[in-house]
């Protein structure tokens, strides 16, 4: 069966409707399932990935995306934001001997920030803020 890719506008409209009508959506999988359900009413062949839904949700000012992270044993280096794939900046601190050390990362675009232990976003929460 052929798949159709819905436009950003269509997806964004559904994300808004869904998030607005609920207290919060627990994960990007749940959100994308709800979006798909509504889009399929229009066209059964529409298909969209949870990652695309999440990325579009990040662009909507009235939708707040909270990120829950999972503890990872060790992080060396990351090149881009694991949430929105924007540029990520190192957060530096100083240790007891006044040397600069890396203490975490912060995204230039979204609200993602992390210390070196709490790193990987595992779960997203979508909340309507109006």
Q: Helical H runs in the chain?
A: 8-20, 28-42, 50-58
Rank residues 10 and 54 by Cβ distance to Zn ion and give the closer one.
Answer: 54
Which residues neighbour 89 within 8 Å (Cβ) at sequence distance 6 or greater?
A: 105, 106, 107, 108
Cα–Cα distances in angstroms (integers) from residue 82 to residues 58, 62, 127, in the given order: 13, 21, 20
- Per DSSP, the chain holds a count of helices (H) and strands (E) of 3, 5
To Zn ion, the closest distance from the beta carbon of 59 in angstroms equals 11
To Zn ion, the closest distance from the beta carbon of 120 in angstroms equals 13
Task: Based on the shown chain and the rule CB under 5 A, indicate whether residue 119 belongs to the binding site for Zn ion.
Answer: no
Cα–Cα distances in angstroms (integers) from residue 114 to residues 25, 27, 43, 61, in the given order: 22, 19, 40, 22
Task: Based on the shown chain and the rule CB under 5 A, indicate whether residue 67 belongs to the binding site for Zn ion.
Answer: no
Of residues 74 through 113, those in contact with Zn ion by CB under 5 A are 81, 83-84, 86, 107, 109-110, 112
Instruction: Report how many residues bind Zn ion under the rule CB under 5 A.
Output: 8
Task: Based on the shown chain and the rule CB under 5 A, indicate whether residue 124 belongs to the binding site for Zn ion.
Answer: no
Task: Based on the shown chain and the rule CB under 5 A, indicate whether residue 46 belongs to the binding site for Zn ion.
Answer: no
> Are the C-beta atoms of 15 and 48 separated by less than 8 Å?
no
Rank residues 32 and 114 by Cβ distance to Zn ion and give the closer one.
Answer: 114
Task: Based on the shown chain and the rule CB under 5 A, indicate whether residue 59 belongs to the binding site for Zn ion.
Answer: no
List of residues contacting Zn ion (CB under 5 A): 81, 83-84, 86, 107, 109-110, 112
């Amino acid at each position: 069966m052929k798949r159709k890719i819905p436009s950003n506008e269509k997806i964004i409209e559904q994300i808004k409707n869904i998030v607005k009508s609920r207290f919060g959506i627990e994960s990007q999988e749940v959100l994308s399932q709800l979006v798909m359900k509504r889009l399929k009413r229009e066209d059964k062949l529409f298909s969209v990935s949870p990652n695309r839904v999440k990325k579009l949700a990040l662009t909507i000012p009235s939708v707040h995306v909270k990120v829950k992270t999972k503890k990872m044993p060790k992080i060396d280096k990351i090149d881009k934001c694991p949430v929105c794939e924007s540029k990520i900046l190192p957060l530096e601190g100083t240790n007891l001997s006044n040397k600069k050390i890396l203490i975490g990362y912060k995204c230039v675009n979204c609200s993602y920030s992390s210390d070196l232990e709490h790193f990987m976003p595992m779960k997203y929460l979508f909340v309507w803020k109006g």
